[in-house]
Amino acid sequence: MTSRTCFWRGDMNPLLIAPVFDIAKGLLDRWFPDPAQKAKAEAEMYQLMQDSAMKQALAQLEVNAKEAANPSVFVAGWRPFIGWVCGVALAYQFIGRPVLAFGFAAYGKPLPELPGLDSTLWELLFGMLGLGTLRTFEKTKGVSK
């Protein structure tokens, strides 16, 4: 079996890891009637799952580092671009629109309904802030500079 197809070496699709291990855990009940043996097998299985997840995370970090070091703005600049677009969109939605509407209302001028943004902006924001939180966690633990 090659390393490309062997999920025990950490190359399995991350979406399939949990279901495969759920099935394996069910099989452990049949294969290991002794609770001590079953517990040992489960511990080994979870260690394999953690190793797989760690390898995938490290591979993604390597891709991110190569991407960020690329001299092309189209390769290295897409993450900052998305961050700035998200920031500008939030500023418009929650500061610009209300202030503009208030200003026009205060002067008694009619203002047509301004376009708004839907809730998918929050999904993007939370994803980006989640990544930022992980970076802060790494810094506090001394893992990165």
- pTM listed for this prediction: 0.48
Domain spans of the chain?
1-71, 77-145
* Ramachandran category for residue 70: left, alpha or beta (phi over 0 → left; psi -120 to 50 → alpha): beta
Burial of 38 from C-beta contacts in 10 A (0-12 / 13-18 / 19+) = middle
Specify the amino acid at residue 136: T
Write out the chain's pLDDT in tens, 145 residues: 344 444 444 455 555 666 777 777 777 777 777 778 778 877 887 788 788 778 888 887 888 788 888 888 877 888 788 888 888 998 998 899 999 999 999 999 988 888 888 877 777 777 777 655 566 666 666 666 5
**C-beta atoms surrounding 52 within 10 Å:** 19
Compute the C-alpha angle 16/58/14, nearest 5°.
5
